[in-house]
Amino acid sequence: MSENVYQIAIDGPSGSGKSTLAKGAATKLGIMYLDTGAMYRTCGLCALKSGIGTKDTDAVKKMLDSMDLKIKFADGVQHMILNGEDVTGSIRTPEVSRAASDISSLPIVRTAMVDMQRKIAADQSFVVDGRDIGSVVLPNAKYKFFLTASAEARAQRRFLELQEKGTPQALEDVLKDIIWRDKQDSERAASPLVKVDDAIEIDTSNIGIEETLDLLLSYIKE
């Protein structure tokens, strides 16, 4: 890796603001943003389309062997291409979210996606967000951050986000899903959600995205 290429790893639980912050940091710094969650969501969508169980290791292995997953960047936007179809707009539903959480717990899926993520991030500077970026995907990243927030704060954000997208859900259902995903992500055997020792923790419960972004960038400038 060139000395001019560096990585920024941003980890944290669902709804902590990782993606929004990562996109903002990438824009401010003039580098690329890689949404790893979209990769697992695409795998989850593929399983749903194929009618296979998202925890059926044998079936998922066959799916991975035949699945054609590509990532394209156009005007700074990451597009997920599944078997020749742009599914970028189809992977944000609650159904796909749960499928992604299930399928990402399988070691064979994480191995395949981590390998792809490392290859993508090897040749140019990236801001990368996910659950295991600093711990597994890019353990040698120059900068590592861990975002956190209360489950209630994260649920409120997701609730408003779903309303804005025209796919509203009851707040208590969103909160239940957040709590379920936290448990799933933290307790899975393969690459669980953890804060590595050298990551800077930022609690976003009571601060907005602009303030969070300024705080993150202040560490990078030092």
pLDDT of residue 196: 94
pLDDT of residue 2: 53
Domain assignment of residue 95, yes or no: yes
Domain assignment of residue 18, yes or no: yes
pLDDT (tens digit, 9 = 90+) per residue, 93-124? 889 988 998 999 899 999 999 999 999 998 88
User: DSSP readout, 150-202?
Assistant: -HHHHHHHHHHHHHHTT----HHHHHHHHHHHHHHHHH-SSS-----TTPEEE
CA angle at residue 56 from 50 to 61, to 5 degrees?
70
Domain assignment of residue 179, yes or no: yes
Q: What is the pTM of this model?
A: 0.82
Domain assignment of residue 168, yes or no: yes
pLDDT (tens digit, 9 = 90+) per residue, 137-156? 999 999 999 999 999 999 99
Domain of 178, CATH number, reads: 3.40.50.300
Domain assignment of residue 159, yes or no: yes
- In terms of residue numbers, what domain contains 193? 7-221
Domain assignment of residue 208, yes or no: yes
Q: For the chain, what is the domain count? A: 1
Domain assignment of residue 2, yes or no: no
**How deeply is 76 buried, as exposed, middle or buried, from its count of CB atoms within 10 A (0-12, 13-18, 19+)?**
exposed
Identify the segments of the chain with pLDDT beneath 70: 1-3, 221-222
Say how far apart CA 84 and CA 75 lie, in whole Å: 20
Domain assignment of residue 60, yes or no: yes
